[in-house]
Amino acid sequence: MSDNQHTDLSFLKINRNESQETKWGSKQTIIFGSLAGVLVLAIALSIILGSGVSTEVVELGTVVMTTPGQESAVLTASGYIVAQRKAAVASKGTGRLEYLGVIEGDRVTTGQIIGRLENSDVQATLGQVKASLNVAKAGLENAKAELEDAAANFERQKTLFAQNAISRADYDGANARHKRAISSVTSAEASIKYAEANIRAAEVQLEYTLIRAPFDGVVLTKNANVGEVISPFGAAAGSRGAIVSVADMTSLEVEADVSEANIEKIKEGFPCEITLDAYPERRYSGYVNKIVPTADRAKATVLTKVRFKDRDERVLPEMRAKVNFLKEAKEQNPKNSAPKISVPASAIVTRNGQKVVFVAQGETVVETAVTLGEIMGNRIEIKQGVTPGQKVVLRPSEKLSTGTKFTTGE
């Protein structure tokens, strides 16, 4: 009994604080575990749902403005409008410009006086030689009169000498006078020719002071003003050479550079469609007029000249142009050659009996009904439904529909 009474039973005491700490730790573990499970489940669900959205790999084309000529072209080249008949008009003489009758844009005709140098000295010389001609003509008349008198006297003396009525000396004197009269007439005639030659020379010098248009054309540039000194070659300091430049507008052609690798695709006479950068809505008919038989070593191109069939006044020298070399000659209707909205033919499919295209908008496509027009090579005109610049799906699959996400696979 004494042993039991002295036994220590304190270890059997319940520690209530420790029990509470253990319970709180267990609750935390359960809460964090539940949150982790929810997070994993959300991620898994997101992956499952994301994998359920279909993404199509597609190829896109562009809606553009084009023409039948562009689509039937075997080759396209760029170039500039160049006048094949062009001249820098200058004076052959040297002097001060006292008259200039044209400005840029004026039309001129062959032989028209468009400028004049000071020529009072040349005109004075011309008047002098004309006066010399009058003197020569008067001298001829005097010589002819003298010849007539000498001839009559010689005939009389000849008759008298035959009758031995006069001496040999008188006869010889009359004969010599007659010959001198003939010589005087010849000399007077030569003087007239000399004076006429001087007149022609003076007229040429006067003509040198007149600047005339060499052909029918339009003045492109004016390079001098009244009062400036004009020299034939502009060699003198402060002098001018050409006063204007003139171009024959009927000789305008497109000079285009065609790559050596493609030159065999075209030949002289090939039909062409010409488009000017200044007027992209207008198409001009043309043909290959000349393939220059030499290549540009630096650019590896061959110069090709294209002549207009239907040119208007809007076509000007030095304008930039694009040339479509066509497959075959066709009479082009200006109405049909206007640019039209078109898409690649492979972009058009039939859905529910209607022609549609799939237009890319953001990351998805939209099925869009279209109204078709003319077939232009590999493209088809769209009269209604799309606008230039939009992207459309080429060769759309049966799975494609409005809202389908797409990627180009790039």
So what's the pLDDT on residue 249? 93
With vertex at residue 381, the alpha carbon angle to CA 378 and CA 384, rounded to the nearest 5 degrees, is 145
CATH code of 70-84+249-326, in short, is: 2.40.30.170
Strand residue runs (E) in 36-100: 55-57, 59-62, 64-66, 73-83, 86-90, 95-100
So what's the pLDDT on residue 1? 44
So what's the pLDDT on residue 216? 95
pLDDT bracket for residue 11 (50, 70, 90):
very low
Predicted confidence (pLDDT) per residue in 168-184, tens digit: 999 999 999 999 999 99
Mean confidence (pLDDT) of the chain: 83
So what's the pLDDT on residue 301? 94
So what's the pLDDT on residue 4? 46
Dihedral, 302, 307, 308, 313 alpha carbons, nearest 10: 90
CATH code of 57-67+339-407, in short, is: 2.40.420.20
Residues 6+ apart with CB under 8 A from 399: 54, 56
Is pLDDT of 133 > 90? Answer: yes
374, 390, 386, 378: which is closest to 339 by C-alpha?
374
253, 254, 275: which is closest to 338 by C-alpha?
275
So what's the pLDDT on residue 331? 45
Residues 6+ apart with CB under 8 A from 277: 319, 320, 321, 322
Count CB-CB contacts under 10 A for residue 284: 24
Percent of the chain beyond pLDDT 90? 50
Is pLDDT of 47 > 60? Answer: no
Residue 344 contacts residue 61 (beta carbons within 8 Å):
yes
Cα–Cα distance, 391 to 397 (Å, whole number): 16
Q: Which pair of structure tokens corresponds to residue 169?
A: 């000396």
Predicted confidence (pLDDT) per residue in 328-383, tens digit: 655 445 445 567 788 888 889 998 889 999 999 888 999 999 998 888 767 888 88
So what's the pLDDT on residue 77? 92
More confident: 65 or 298: 298
Predicted confidence (pLDDT) per residue in 69-127, tens digit: 665 667 889 999 999 999 999 888 888 999 999 999 999 999 999 999 999 999 999 99
Domain with CATH 2.40.420.20 in the chain: 57-67+339-407
The domain defined by 88-115+213-246 carries CATH number 2.40.50.100: yes
So what's the pLDDT on residue 86? 94
Domain with CATH 1.10.287.470 in the chain: 120-208
Burial class (CB in 10 A: 0-12, 13-18, 19+), 277: exposed
Residue in this structure with the two tokens 């039973």, named with its chain if needed: 9
With vertex at residue 390, the alpha carbon angle to CA 388 and CA 394, rounded to the nearest 5 degrees, is 115
Is pLDDT of 41 > 80? Answer: no
So what's the pLDDT on residue 335? 45
* CATH topology assigned to domain 120-208: Helix Hairpins (1.10.287)
pLDDT bracket for residue 5 (50, 70, 90):
very low
Cα–Cα distance, 52 to 384 (Å, whole number): 35
Task: Phi first, then psi: give them for residue 221, nearest 5 degrees.
Answer: -140, 150
Q: Which pair of structure tokens corresponds to residue 402?
A: 């409005």
Percent of the chain beyond pLDDT 70? 80
So what's the pLDDT on residue 50? 46
pLDDT bracket for residue 29 (50, 70, 90):
low
More confident: 41 or 220: 220
Predicted confidence (pLDDT) per residue in 193-204, tens digit: 999 999 999 999
Q: Give the mean pLDDT of 30-45.
A: 58
- Beginning with the edge strand found earlier in the chain, give each strand of the sheet holding 86-90 in spatial order: 86-90, 242-247, 217-222, 107-108
